[in-house]
Amino acid sequence: MSTGLIRDNMRERAMNFLPTTATAVEKLKRQAKDLRRTTGTSLAVAQDAVAKQHGYMHWKHVTECLKRTPSHRHNRPLPKHLLDWLDRAAASDPAPDSTREAFDRGFVFAIDVKESENLTPHPEYIECEDGWHIAARQLWQSLVQKMDADSVQSAFERLTPEGQLRTVLDALTNYRFFQYVGLHVPSSPENAFKHARSLTSCPPTHVWIKGRFVDVSELAEVRIDGQVDHSPNPGTHTAMPEKGRTRLEKFGHLLNKEERILFGSMSVSEQEGWLFELEKRTRVGRSRYRPVSTSVTMPWKDASKT
């Protein structure tokens, strides 16, 4: 091997790893294209320049970090106090065997609550409310690692244990889970997307296929019958919840047609009270607010003592 190749290999090994999502790379690409238009330089030069502006050595450094990010992120465990809280939730509200089987050997997908209002009923799918603490073990891991992923200490890590629990519980209320009960379980994200399309025109945010967890926002592209069904772009759903989402946006889907009419005639305070009661009736809400002193506050305090 020549001295030049050895030097190049050593330089590549020395590149610092920066967690990098597909969405972040798309943003950098757009910036590079804008720079190219304004300066008249080549795309390669513009990409290197933009990469350096964001802390990378060059554009190849960006692409290498993108390849390494999924395994790096998912190898980092959740904080112990969150795992302990989930263990308590599973013990007090255990999922039935059929639900555990669906996550381990079947097909489950998550969809944004806001999009779930447009779901079409299908006999091969049922809502999977009793498996939220199973989903949370991987869903939370994906969520928290995306918060300020380009910093040494993430925004999540800077929160107190109480703040971390509140953050992940709030994030969990942004999703609904659906379990496939048919005979032909999909074996790939592409097939899973095709299955989910029988219920909704919007792609799922996360899927569990025969025990494999897939964060859809990390997929470079998903094709169905040769057509691009999902790709990272500004309109693609990401796993992080929207900031400032109201209770109505999170739990309004639980109101039936008659209740929506009555809801519209209420005062703001009455509406909030009703929505709060709806939240408490969900699986997550029951675990979160029953009672508050032991369901929310005590778990992280107890975990911090162990």
Q: What is the mean pLDDT of the chain?
A: 75
Whole-number pLDDT of residue 283 = 66
Q: Residue 141 pLDDT > 80, yes or no?
A: yes
Most confident residue range from 70-74, 143-147, 168-172: 168-172
Query: Domain extents for the chain?
Result: 3-71, 80-241
Alpha carbon distance 186, 208 (integer Å): 10
20-46: per-residue pLDDT in tens?
A: 777 778 888 999 999 999 999 999 999
- Cα dihedral value 236, 136, 66, 211, nearest 10: -100
> Rounded to the nearest 10 degrees, what angle do helices 59-74 and 43-53 cross at?
50
Q: Residue 107 pLDDT > 80, yes or no?
A: yes
CB 35 within 8 A of CB 41: yes
The larger pLDDT score, comparing residue 274 to residue 224, is at 274
The larger pLDDT score, comparing residue 135 to residue 244, is at 135
Q: Residue 286 pLDDT > 50, yes or no?
A: yes
Angle at the Cα of 274 from the Cα atoms of 243 and 262, rounded to 5 degrees? 110
